[in-house]
């Protein structure tokens, strides 16, 4: 369908950038505003699951990801002492020529997507947000913080889990909820013998590693926490080392190398799953604004990229914008809910730490991974 539309995207995270790229493929006039003047995406590594690799292939950035990240096959599962108990093959969901899983540094992924966004022809305006957003006669009128204003056929809110747009337009929705765990990440050098992702289980803690480039990998570890309080940064190396005290093998080696210069990040985990509809008039919500998950299935960013793909497909299919938004949310809701609900449940089972919980954890993980391999 060749309808020409003028679109504003609020938020230049992974979901917003992929939405800009996909909508430019429809020849829409796309503007993206990002509040951060430096368009930084901080963070450690991010795991790119098979379905997420498939989505990035559709967006058109897979070659850069494979070159600048690390795409690997197989997942190693071991005990805290480093003993390997299983090698699980990862399904090549993105095609026979693309490994089953991957990892990349978040800032590197952000640079790849920012370059592709600009190359798509989208107009990117940094250090900017809106002060007013109003709808009339099937159009959205937006005034920006620099005093400019413009009118759009549709607006895509991709401003993340703490979305100002969601609070403004859907104030009755519950706030994101703390899930009872905190996430630790550390970026460390990748020894040559580390060929794929792995995780190791102690009595109460699961820690793992994933390569993110030819020379780097990241450590991930989840911890049961009573509250989502801020932990002072200067205590992070010692707290993470203490959490990993049971481990030997590769995780133990990483622990022994931690110091005040280590690239460590701690973040309490929250979740949000909003029931459809995901739009208010001609404004639609995508990514973490509607479905923010914990990292247990490494799929939060992936379902944001998929949102971008499906939204573009439905806009292309429907003459009426609201019909497109309705079709979009109905195609996305169950899949995103599967990711959020399963991820949160995996965290609950980890916190229980019993043998029964461990078995249920494995079964749930396998069921979810299989379900997510299905086409979107």
Residue 72 interacting with ligand FAD (CB under 6 A): no
Binding mask 128-157 for ligand FAD (x = CB under 6 A): -x----------------------------
| Of 337, 235, 257, nearest in space to 291 by CA | 337
Measured CA angle at 110 (ends 60, 179), to 5 deg: 110
**66 is written with which tokens?**
């494979």
| Of 232, 365, 286, nearest in space to 10 by CA | 286
Work out whether strand 6-10 and strand 29-34 pair parallel, antiparallel, or are unpaired: parallel
Binding mask 84-123 for ligand FAD (x = CB under 6 A): ----------------------------------------
User: Which lies closer to ligand FAD via its Cβ, residue 13 or residue 99?
Assistant: 13
**In whole angstroms, how close is the CB of 270 to ligand FAD at the nearest point?**
8
Cβ-proximal residue to ligand FAD, closest one: 13
Q: In a 3-state reduction of DSSP, which class is residue 213?
A: coil
| Of 44, 77, 55, nearest in space to 251 by CA | 77
User: Which lies closer to ligand FAD via its Cβ, residue 28 or residue 56?
Assistant: 56
Interface residue with ligand FAD among 9, 21, 24, 47 (CB under 6 A) is 47
Distance in angstroms (rounded) separating the CA atoms of residues 324 and 28:
15
User: Which lies closer to ligand FAD via its Cβ, residue 92 or residue 318?
Assistant: 92
The stretch among 64-72, 111-119, 234-242, 294-302 that binds ligand FAD (CB under 6 A) is: 294-302
**Binding residue count for ligand FAD, defined by CB under 6 A:** 32
* The total number of residues written for the chain in this structure: 376
- CA 372 to chain centroid, in Å, comes to 15
Distance in angstroms (rounded) separating the CA atoms of residues 126 and 148:
14
- Enumerate binding residues for ligand FAD (CB under 6 A): 10-16, 33-36, 46-47, 52, 129, 158-161, 164, 183, 267, 269, 287-288, 295, 298-302, 304
């Amino acid at each position: 369908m060749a309808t020409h539309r003028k679109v504003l995207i609020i938020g230049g995270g992974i979901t917003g950038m992929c939405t800009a790229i996909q909508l430019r493929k429809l020849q829409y006039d796309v503007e993206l505003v990002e509040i951060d003047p430096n368009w930084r995406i901080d963070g450690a590594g991010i795991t790119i699951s098979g379905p997420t690799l498939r989505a990035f292939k559709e967006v058109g950035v897979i070659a850069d990801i494979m070159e600048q990240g690390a795409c690997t096959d197989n997942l190693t599962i071991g005990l805290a002492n480093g003993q390997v108990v299983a090698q699980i093959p990862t399904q090549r969901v993105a095609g026979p020529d693309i490994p089953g899983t991957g990892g990349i540094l978040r800032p590197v992924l952000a640079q790849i997507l920012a370059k592709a966004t600009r190359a798509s022809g989208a107009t990117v305006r940094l250090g900017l947000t809106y002060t007013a957003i109003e709808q009339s006669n099937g159009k959205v009128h937006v005034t920006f913080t620099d005093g400019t204003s413009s009118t759009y056929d549709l607006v895509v809110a991709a401003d993340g889990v703490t979305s100002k747009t969601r609070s403004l337009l859907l104030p009755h929705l519950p706030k994101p909820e703390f899930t009872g765990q905190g996430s630790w990440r550390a970026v460390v050098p990748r020894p040559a013998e580390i060929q794929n992702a792995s995780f190791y289980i102690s009595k109460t803690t699961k820690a793992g590693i994933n390569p993110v480039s030819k020379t780097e990998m990241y450590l991930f570890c989840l911890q049961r926490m009573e509250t989502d309080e801020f932990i002072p940064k200067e205590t992070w190396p010692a707290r993470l080392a203490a959490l990993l005290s049971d481990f030997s093998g590769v995780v133990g080696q990483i622990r022994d190398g931690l110091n005040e210069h280590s690239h460590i990040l701690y973040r309490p985990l929250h979740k949000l799953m909003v029931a459809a509809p995901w739009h208010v008039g001609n404004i639609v919500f995508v990514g973490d604004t509607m479905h923010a998950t914990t990292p247990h299935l490494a799929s939060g960013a992936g379902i944001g990229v998929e949102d971008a793909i499906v939204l573009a497909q439905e806009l292309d299919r429907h003459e009426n914008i609201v019909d497109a938004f309705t079709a979009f949310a109905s195609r996305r809701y169950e899949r995103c809910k599967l990711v959020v609900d399963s991820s949160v449940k995996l965290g609950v089972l980890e916190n229980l730490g019993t043998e029964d919980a461990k078995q249920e954890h494995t079964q749930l993980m396998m069921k979810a991974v299989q379900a997510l391999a299905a086409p979107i």
